[in-house]
Amino acid sequence: MADAESLVDSVAVVAVNPADELLHPPVAPDDPTATEISFLGFNVPERDLNCAIHHWLHPVLGLVSGGVVLIRGEAENAAFADYIDYHAFMPMTRGDLDDVVYPSGVRVRVVEPLELVELSYAPRGGRLRFELVQEALMPAAGKPGGGRFTQAMGTRGELVLDGERIEIDGYFTRERRWSAVRPEDDRATAPLAWASAAFGPDLALHFSARDGECLEREKLSWGYVWRDGETRPLEAAWMRTSRGDDGAAPKGVEVKLLDAGGETYEMTGETRARVPLNVWPNVLDQMCLMRYQLNGRHCHGDFQDLQFNSFLRSTRH
């Protein structure tokens, strides 16, 4: 999930320890902003439906924030989502993250570390429930320096929304983060995008980047291409985000990526669903479901645009 990371020299992908599925000791034991993040979810492309399952743990405080946000089409803010059960303050759960029931009611069970995860959610009297499995399309990809991995997953299962049964059969890129502090201050920075596109078992992309005028390393935070059984780190990115009349809402994106082998990937995306979520009050996460196109292939995937007050304020002038 998008974060306020710096653009640093990290052109590599490292192996992930299966133990990284578990809870980690806070990197700063006395810092209340020490965090750990679990980001999962699914989409149903033929319905332009996207469901984010996000939990943001604060181990020093003994708290967890998060829950479930489901969207179809565009919502003005999170309160207008088709379904939202997202809480700011909940007690940390007992036990570890390989089999956890969050206070939100979401259960995450790691059946096989870095390979197979089961998700379920069935609040009593709720309008939404789901059961699904996520199976790895690729080895988990770790960012150099540790503290983060992402992984394209195949998703299969069923959801029931307002009594309607809907099959889940697609792809989603999950993320785990730990060993970091995440202060909630405003930052005078351009929006940072977190994007993922899984076209199938043979091709998936993930990158974090900012808009730029040319293909360059400085616009890329980190990313990779999973292609034909090989994970290739990205070296540079060019991205142009088109926005709505408010100057903020992403409507589409053009992307060019360069991998470490010298190959380029030119991709476009059209926003099919969107909800702006305040993961904390000083920042807005524009959570979008994009319909991506690359070399005649298409898929639905996440595009999150992390926007601080300094940027949003500038759109008002």
The pLDDT tens digits of the residues spanning 265-291 come to: 999 999 999 999 998 888 999 999 999
The pLDDT tens digits of the residues spanning 38-49 come to: 999 999 999 999
CB neighbour list of residue 41: distance below 8 Å, 6 or more residues apart: 50, 51, 52, 53, 54, 172, 174, 302
pLDDT for residue 87 is more than 80: yes
pLDDT for residue 2 is more than 80: no
pLDDT band, very low/low/confident/very high, at 3 (cuts 50, 70, 90):
low
Predicted local distance difference test score (pLDDT) of residue 95: 83
Arithmetic mean of pLDDT over the chain: 93
Chain Cα centroid distance, residue 297: 22
Predicted local distance difference test score (pLDDT) of residue 310: 87
Predicted local distance difference test score (pLDDT) of residue 5: 54
Task: Indicate the pTM of the whole model.
Answer: 0.94
What is the residue type of 208? S
Token couple for 175: 């993320």
Distance CA 291, CA 300 (A): 5
Predicted local distance difference test score (pLDDT) of residue 188: 67
Q: Which of 82-96, 158-172, 183-197 bottoms out in mean pLDDT, i.e. has the lowest?
A: 183-197
Predicted local distance difference test score (pLDDT) of residue 1: 58
Predicted local distance difference test score (pLDDT) of residue 8: 45
pLDDT for residue 199 is more than 90: yes
Work out whether strand 220-227 and strand 164-181 pair parallel, antiparallel, or are unpaired.
unpaired
Predicted local distance difference test score (pLDDT) of residue 10: 56
Predicted local distance difference test score (pLDDT) of residue 298: 97
Sorted by where each begins, the domain ranges of the chain are 33-314
Predicted local distance difference test score (pLDDT) of residue 6: 47
The pLDDT tens digits of the residues spanning 106-148 come to: 999 999 999 999 999 999 888 999 999 999 999 999 999 889 9
Chain Cα centroid distance, residue 291: 15
Residues 23-27: what's their mean pLDDT?
Answer: 90
Residues 59-75: what's their mean pLDDT?
Answer: 95
Q: Cα–Cα distances in Å, from 91 out to 33, 75, 107, 314?
A: 16, 29, 15, 37
Residue 288 near residue 304, CB atoms below 8 Å: yes
Q: pLDDT above 70 covers what percent of the chain?
A: 96
pLDDT band, very low/low/confident/very high, at 245 (cuts 50, 70, 90):
very high
Q: Which of 29-33, 133-137, 254-258 bottoms out in mean pLDDT, i.e. has the lowest?
A: 29-33
